[in-house]
Amino acid sequence: MVYYTQVHLLFFLLKKEKVFFATVSLLWMLSLNVSAQTTDIDSAYNELAPHTSQLDSNEQIVKESIRGKVAPKNHRQWQQLYQHISEVAEKKENLTAALKYYKLATEIKDSLQTHENQKLTQKLKKSTAQENSPQQKADNQNELILQKKLRNVFIYFFIVILLIAFFLYRTNRQKAKANKRLLEQNLAMIRQREKIIHTQKELEKNNRLLELHNYEIKLKNDEIQEQNQDVKDSIEYAQRIQSALLPSSEKLNDIIRESFVLLKPKDIVSGDFYWVYQEEEKIILAAIDCTGHGVPGAFMSLIAKQLLDDIVIQQKIMQPADILNQLHEKIRNSLNQAESDNKDGMDMTLCLIDTVHKKVTFAGAYNPMIVIQNDDLNVIKGDSFPIGGWHFQGSDRAFRQIEVALNPDQDTMIYLYSDGYQDQFGGGDDRKFMKSRFRKLLQTIHQKPLKQQKEILNQTIEDWKGKHPQVDDILVIGLKLNAKGDFI
């Protein structure tokens, strides 16, 4: 009880701000407590002295504290000391001392607890009083305002941090996407570059192969050109032989003054040719179209020329139909067509001009003869089978002949020709020149001089042909005859 009174007195003096008196009271409290506790130590020592020899190592501390009369420094230590003494006394079966010091330890513990509760109560009262004062309210209000400002600052700062973080995240994400795109582009460029390098290597390889191939082609072309040149030289030589064996245009002009020959071989040598022979007042003239053109046609032309020489000049056969019949048999025999599959032959127009009887006798194998008298154009058709070769009527031929009387008052134009002129493609739309257009052209020019007729025919077919290749040999023969017989 004395302890509680001392504590209340000390708090009262502190509350009234009596510092000097509070200090004196505190010293007085300490002196009383030390005196009482010293007495308690002596009493505890006297009671426990007979039993100290039996204390263990931990209890020896209490023993030394009692013997030396060392005073603890605060109430908490006193409480612990009394607690230890009570426990030692209980172990030594000194129950009276154990109960006594247990009570003392409990009183100090309760006193300390009460003191702490009072201090907490005073602190709460003081805090409540301060909070209810106007100054405290103002302070509280200021503190709330400050806290609100701090909160707002924190919010703004947090928002700014979030915005910065979002901006950085977005920037980094865009950079990452850009880097990814750049990486993909770089990879694509690398792949493209590798592809280009591979393509270049392939091109270089192909170029080398192409150069080698071109070199081989050049060698072959050189060889072919050399062979072609040899063939061309041979053909040109053959053309000279053919020209030497066949009659020239000058020979026809020597026999018939008013005449022309338009001969345009498709190749160097020709399968078309003409043959002329004069015996006294009779002239035999033939326009012959051998099978094929070029070298094969040229061979056939030489065979036909040799056979005509034999039939007309040697055997003296002068009638056109008989000449064609003999020529057919000799062609079949010369080419052994009865025992082989050779079908070569020729189409031809042959006429006998009789200056004494003023007439022209005609026989034809497929090809016709055109006669223009008094501006009338007449087509004298030949037979519908060739000389030599194959025909659906069989191998036997019986050619017929037709006589045409010369006009006593006007000149007569006679045209012998092969099918090469009328079969030529061209005209801008890839069409044949055709028979009708050819006959109309002859009808138009028949009164012109023979030399001019030849030039017109040649220029017309060249213009018609244009860039188209010539498809066959071309042969056109023109004769101007009269009943007076002065054309020879």
The reply to whether 392 and 261 lie within a common domain is yes
Domain assignment of residue 463, yes or no: yes
d(CA 399, CA 384): 9
On average, the pLDDT of the chain sits at 81
Domain assignment of residue 488, yes or no: no
Tokens in use for 378?
């007449």
The reply to whether 282 and 404 lie within a common domain is yes
Range of the domain at 192: 134-245
What tens digit of pLDDT does each residue of 164-185 get? 999 899 889 888 988 988 888 8
Q: Do 292 and 348 form a contact (C-beta atoms < 8 A)?
A: no
321 conformational bin, left if phi > 0, alpha if psi -120 to 50, beta if neither? alpha
Asked if residue 73 has pLDDT above 80, the reply is no
Domain assignment of residue 280, yes or no: yes
The reply to whether 408 and 274 lie within a common domain is yes
d(CA 361, CA 145): 145
What tens digit of pLDDT does each residue of 22-38 get? 444 444 444 444 444 44
Domain assignment of residue 265, yes or no: yes
User: End of a domain among 245, 266, 292?
Assistant: 245
Q: What is the mean pLDDT of residues 120-148?
A: 74
The reply to whether 165 and 258 lie within a common domain is no
The reply to whether 239 and 253 lie within a common domain is no
Q: pLDDT higher for 412 or 63?
A: 412
The reply to whether 239 and 302 lie within a common domain is no
pLDDT band for position 7 (cuts 50, 70, 90): very low
Tokens in use for 483?
């009943």
The reply to whether 87 and 58 lie within a common domain is yes
Domain assignment of residue 312, yes or no: yes
What tens digit of pLDDT does each residue of 187-209 get? 999 998 899 998 888 888 888 88
Domain assignment of residue 456, yes or no: yes
User: End of a domain among 132, 157, 177?
Assistant: 132
pLDDT band for position 12 (cuts 50, 70, 90): very low
Nearest to 385 by CA among 373, 372, 374, 394: 394
Q: How far is CA 60 from CA 67, 246, 314, in A?
A: 10, 166, 179
d(CA 329, CA 406): 32
Number of domains in the chain: 3
Residue 443: what pLDDT? 96
User: End of a domain among 245, 264, 279?
Assistant: 245
Tokens in use for 124?
């709460």
pLDDT band for position 291 (cuts 50, 70, 90): confident
The reply to whether 442 and 305 lie within a common domain is yes
The reply to whether 168 and 254 lie within a common domain is no
Tokens in use for 242?
């053919």
Domain assignment of residue 487, yes or no: no
The reply to whether 271 and 284 lie within a common domain is yes
The reply to whether 138 and 128 lie within a common domain is no
Please report, as a single letter, which amino acid is at residue 461: I
Residue 23: what pLDDT? 40
The reply to whether 193 and 270 lie within a common domain is no
Say which residue the tokens 């080698």 belong to: 212
Where residue 429 sits, what CATH number does that domain have?
3.60.40.10
Residue 2: what pLDDT? 44
Q: What is the mean pLDDT of residues 450-477?
A: 95
Cα 195 to chain centroid distance, Å, stands at 13
C-alpha R_g of the chain = 75
Domain assignment of residue 237, yes or no: yes
